[in-house]
Chains A and B, each alone.
Chain A
Amino acid sequence: MSELANSAGTAAQASATTSSQAPVGAVFAALADPTRRHVVELLSQQPTVTASGLAQELPISRQAIAKHLRALTQAGLLTCAQEGRETHYRLSPQPLGSAMQWMASAGARWDGRLARLQQELGERR
């Protein structure tokens, strides 16, 4: 990856830990993993999850689950609260909404560009 990506990527990662509004790239990065997507999808159907609850459902180690939960929390996708002996994780929808908004916005821009390209090539034929 180039210097352009590395410098901006590092800045994005840094701001992901210091800002309540995680960069879109950090959200996509966190959701690159199918297990993490599954956790987020699960949290769209139930209010909270716990590491021990996920350990019963998923075929991965408790340590791996903790790592995934940490990655999602750092990306701003989850908030956590200690309740008794368990940490309960809850979906924080704002970063996910930002990612979806980015996709819709970037997609609409490409729709416009590709329409221009088709028009341009059509006019020249």
Chain B
Amino acid sequence: MELDLGNLEQAVRRTIVLGVDRREAWRKLADADGLSSWLAEEVDLEVRAGARGTIRLAGDDIRLVEVEEVESMRRLSLLWREPDGEPSLVEITLDDTEHGTQLTVIEMPALALRVFAASIESQSHAGGGPSMLAALV
């Protein structure tokens, strides 16, 4: 057995290109209706920083959600967890590309993120950049 643990820095990371412009892509992130069309079965959440709500995934899989950060047309950060589970930070970012809009999603356990963030801050003394997760990408 030989391990390569380098990819653990980003935990889960996915990138896709959507064949629409960023304004249209953002509509799918900007409110509960947009999110419920793809993210979950039901979304009860106001998309503004600090708002709390719930989403229901398939079956009765409930997540408690808090909106960490909203940068209109660009980024949505959510902190979510199962009622008895560990929280994960989810960051969804939109970027313009030649063929539409690139969507990148990263999910990482929040406990790990705090360690990464402390490490990054101690190295850069940046004092809060655009995004903790973006610094890892």
Contact = CB atoms under 8 A, between A and B. Distances in A.
A81 interface: no
Interface in A73-125: 96, 99, 102-103, 106-107, 109-111, 113-114, 116-118, 120-122, 125
Given A113-B38, A114-B16, A121-B20, A9 B111 contact: yes
Question: Which applies to chain B's interface (DSSP): helix, strand, loop or mixed?
Answer: mixed
Contacts of A118: 16, 18
Interface residues of A, number: 40
B64 interface: yes
Chain A interface mostly helix, strand, loop or mixed? helix
A122 B19 CA distance: 8
A4 B119 contact: no
A121 B28 contact: yes
Given A1-B114, A2-B79, A28-B108, A8 B86 contact: yes
19 contacts: A4-B87, A25-B110, A25-B112, A26-B111, A28-B8, A29-B112, A103-B11, A106-B12, A107-B12, A110-B12, A113-B38, A114-B103, A116-B38, A117-B18, A117-B28, A117-B38, A121-B19, A121-B20, A121-B24
Interface of A: 1-2, 4-5, 8-9, 12-13, 23-26, 28-29, 31-33, 37, 40-41, 44-45, 96, 99, 102-103, 106-107, 109-111, 113-114, 116-118, 120-122, 125
